[in-house]
């Protein structure tokens, strides 16, 4: 693998955005994801290879987060470094040069305003090559149904942080399954368990963002 690509992957994993960024301390003064991506594209390294490097870096930090070796701040910095890469790759996505793995409709369910975990899921899923249609917070079932209708073949992710809004999550899953039985749904959030997810009729549950990626990749490969 090209040395520049390896370095980009390392920057994403460790949250090194650009040369001016003081984080992480061990990489202070070094070039970051921003400069290295520009150099890679100037050196005619393909956007696919750069995206793969980005995905690998996000995968590693996501796994470290799952193992409690790093925490929310490290994950957020990794996502920022990834965004620095994506700013350079965006024109290639828009032109269709780079293909995304699939589309993921995501939102926090009706009555629930918590979005920090949902946003982490979005960042990690995006970093792993999926297009995310983020519907935001307090999302009513009808909004999810409209998004599914307008996004053929999408997979849906629901987040809830309150025991009270788990009821709304359950209703949303059931309405999705009635109107779009083939659409796969994954749920997550602090009060959820696999047991609760299955009782709602969801196809999957994850307690962290990396688990959502594993679920999506498995479905798209099937």
Residues that bind ligand B1M (CB under 6 A): 72, 111-118, 120-121, 157-159, 161-164, 186-191, 206-209, 212
Q: Which is nearer to ligand B1M, 3 or 195 (CB)?
A: 195
Q: Which is nearer to ligand B1M, 4 or 124 (CB)?
A: 124
CB of 186 to ligand B1M, least distance (A): 5
Q: Which is nearer to ligand B1M, 37 or 119 (CB)?
A: 119
CB of 67 to ligand B1M, least distance (A): 12
Q: Name the closest residue to ligand B1M (Cβ).
A: 117
CB of 217 to ligand B1M, least distance (A): 14
Separation in Å, CA 172 to CA 94, 114, 138, 144: 32, 17, 12, 8
Instruction: Find, among 130, 197, 184, 129, the residue nearest to 157 by Cα.
Output: 184
Q: Which is nearer to ligand B1M, 60 or 114 (CB)?
A: 114
CB of 182 to ligand B1M, least distance (A): 18
Tell me the C-alpha distance between 78 and 10, whole Å: 10
CB of 101 to ligand B1M, least distance (A): 16
Question: Using N-to-C axis directions, what is the helix angle for 47-66 and 33-42, rounded to 10°?
Answer: 150
Q: Which is nearer to ligand B1M, 35 or 134 (CB)?
A: 134
Tell me the C-alpha distance between 132 and 102, whole Å: 9
């Amino acid at each position: 693998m090209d040395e520049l690509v390896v370095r980009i992957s390392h920057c994403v994993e460790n949250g090194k955005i650009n040369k001016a960024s003081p984080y992480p301390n061990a990489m202070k003064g070094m070039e970051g994801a921003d400069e290295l991506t520009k150099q890679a594209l100037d050196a005619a390294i393909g956007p696919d290879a750069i995206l793969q490097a980005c995905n690998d870096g996000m995968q590693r930090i996501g796994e470290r987060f799952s193992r409690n070796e790093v925490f929310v701040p490290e994950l957020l910095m990794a996502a920022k470094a990834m965004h620095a890469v994506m700013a350079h790759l965006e024109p290639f996505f828009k032109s269709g040069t780079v293909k995304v793995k699939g589309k993921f409709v995501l939102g926090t369910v009706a009555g629930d305003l918590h979005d920090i975990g949902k946003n982490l899921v979005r960042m990690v899923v995006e970093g792993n090559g999926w297009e995310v249609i983020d519907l935001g917070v307090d999302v009513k079932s009808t909004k999810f149904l409209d998004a599914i209708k307008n996004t053929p073949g999408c997979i849906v992710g629901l987040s809830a942080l309150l025991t009270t809004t788990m009821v709304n999550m359950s209703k949303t899953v059931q309405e999705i399954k009635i109107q779009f039985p083939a659409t796969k749904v994954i749920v997550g959030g602090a009060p959820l368990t696999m047991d609760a997810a299955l009782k709602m009729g969801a196809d999957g549950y994850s307690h962290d963002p990396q688990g959502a990626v594993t679920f999506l990749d498995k479905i798209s490969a099937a």
